[in-house]
Structure 1
Amino acid sequence: MTTEDTATATAPAALGTTTLRRPELLPVWQTLHGRLSSGRPVTRVRLGPLDESQREALADLLGLDRLPDARPVVALARIEEAVSEVSGRTVRDVVAALVGPLGDRAGERRRQEDERTGLWTWLAGHTTVRAQPALADWAASCRAAGLIGGSADRTRTLLTDALTVLAELPGQAEPLPVFAARVLNGHTHALDDGTPLSTLVLRALATLYDTAPPQSAAERRALWSRAGVADDELSSTVLLGGLHPAGDGLLARLTRLCAEAGQAAALTLAQVRSPGELTLPADATPLVVHVVENPSILALALRRFGPHCPPLVCTSGWPNSAAVQLMRLLTDRGADLRYHGDFDGEGIRIAAYVLEKTGARPWRMTVTDYRSAVARHARGPRPGRVTGAPWDPELADAMRERDMAVAEELVADTLLKDLAAESREDHPSDHA
């Protein structure tokens, strides 16, 4: 059969399945394999370019009376009919047998898209991200950066580890490899400088602290230290006043002596980690321990109440390892922690951090408290980057709308009134 001449096709039934296995037809089956594996409907297929022997084989298969073009467009139904007559099988069966299993690229793309969507939805809704809404920006940046290594599974594994690390911070003044081994099932080098996991965690910390991502090794070490990793047990300290615990442990004796003198105790992480015997007063209700962000509030309280100052912890801004460990210790001993801080962007992030890490409850940190404080001051600095407050969904919106920060010192009188009530309850005879 030539391009110029016509030929009479052999009856398809007489060709048998050997016709389908002709080497000249392999390009046809390969093209069909690609199209049918797309996962999309196929009605017509463009073949070729075909050489003359391949065009002859195609003409024989389809029962054509002339050679097709080098790049013919053929209806799939026509090929289906010819294949069925020859073998009694479908085109899909023949293509799978001769070339390989058919895929479903469209279905695979949908599956991958669903997998990616599920991954980012999981990250945005994770308990650690919800508890510290500032991390929502980090979650969004992770989504914008895309899959790590192009794999949703690998990305989820790394994000799971990153969230595990974030939940364990601040650290306990351990070297970074020791911290990594403790938190990540013995993987000592998982947080080494430059690893994908280390990069993820440091980006999260930079977002949380509202700082630029670290660029140098020194900046990365400083950020880890700020998060309580590679910190030391002596330089990490926390201020505590007004606590009169029972017990002969060093921490109990030290805090009791300072409280009786109307002074604050500056406790090191080493002292908090090894408190010895320490028992909080056991009344009908848990001992209330107030927590403030700024040392000036503690100083005002000690000046006013002296030896009768109610228990008061000061985080001095972002709580370090000593502060978090002390608050956890007090909670473990049955205390009811109540936290107050600045009404600005960082203050809200610190509050969310303290509440999530220690189980404290907010103290005069609602939208009503903010509006009341703003009403008393006509002007003030802007609050900076404001993220959500999990304990009051309306607070962040109100701060963005008013666009004014309120430092904790500006509401000191209100806080001291609350502490005065606590002081009278603890020492009623002193106020008779």
Structure 2
Amino acid sequence: MSTAPADCSRGWCPDGACHGARLDSLLTPEARWLWEQLAARADKRGERSMTGGTTVITAPEGAGQRAAVLGLIGTRILAPGERCRIRLEELTLRLRRHGARLTPGAVAAHAVGRPLGSAVAERARQTARAGGLRLLRARLGAALPGQAPVRPSDEGWEELHHTGRVARILQHPAPEELLRRGAEVLRLLPVRGCVDRRVLAHRVTGDPHGLDAGSDLAGLVLAEAALAGVTAPGMPLRAAWSRLRVALDALSGGLLSVGVHPKGWTLPARHPCILPPYTLAEATWPGPDREEDSWVFVTENPSITAAALALPANVPVRLLCTAGTVSAVEVDALARLADSGWRIAVRADFDAAGLALVRTVLAAVPQAEAWHMTADYYTASLHPSPFEPVALAPDRLGDTPWDPSLAASMRACGQAAYEEGLIDELLTDLHEGRPSAGAPAHGHPRANRRL
């Protein structure tokens, strides 16, 4: 182990305490544990010299390590793991035999190779910078126009701190600029009409993706909106931006549709098409011609839609696919579809996201039904010998009020199952135009035994 020079030119020692000192006998590998523990105390409390008071040390396992500091701490040989309180004044006097100005902090700084008290100093710097950011945010908020829908107030700073947003701001490479760009977004929020989020992001940052989900700028703007009461914490992103009159991409996503089209549309039979959010937000739906043909099926996976296209051409398939998590626009469109007289049957994968999708649709469309989303169908859809089974996190599943035994079965088994495992049953229902009743027609015996 190399030792630091006795005349330290790196600023490690407080007040040049190492000048002219003999450190070699103190900075041995065996004694390093003592200086590391003292350095940790100095970092925590900001005491760079440590010449007064007491501290507690914990003896290491090695007998040679414990013996190496016996002459410094002035006590008997300690047992492994024993805690011992030492007086720093006495330790300082013993160190002065090696250097007239030596202190425990000076030797510890040489041992660890850096200035001590870094944690306290860093906290002080962060506190000072946070105070400056708070003042900057207040000035930027005061400069916003009178009609601005969101205006940061000084009172909201503590709430931003409580939610961790201030820490996120401080971690940003340019926190002051982040606040300025956030204020510019708030200044450009429309009072009437709407603005595309990508256009707004480009105006403020030069990057159309500057306000994408997960960005620090988007998080800051939405946090300010929630503080101002314009949005609510936990609100879906599309709904939150909509409250700010900012439109997310209205042409991507939406519902994959077969046989379900807005009023006035004419399409070739069995022609799949995407109904984007823009269309879904404005769509009005024709009602069913006959009550017995009034079912619309809602699924999560495009593979079910692809399989449905292979059904006989004379089968009037009516299927909507969310292709993943359902959005607020899509749920609202399903609710209006139900209000037009259609009966909704909804299903998804047997995992946390799938259960959440079904809960969301059933909450928004009370007359909808869960389609083959029971414990029996879960068991039937389990693969008998999955190569890399996806484990379920029990605390993330939530409840299944349409069939309480489903959540219990999923927690007991602990494995996800997918819509593709029920492809035959689903296609049969699509062919018949209505959900079948009763238990599944088949299942995987090995999967059944798991439960």
TM-score above 0.5, yes or no:
no
Higher relative contact order (CA 8 A, sep 6+): 1
TM bucket (normalised to shorter chain) is: 0.3 to 0.5
Return the TM-score normalized by structure 1.
0.43
Return the TM-score normalized by structure 2.
0.42
Structure with more helix by fraction: 1
Name which one, 1 or 2, has greater alpha-carbon Rg: 1
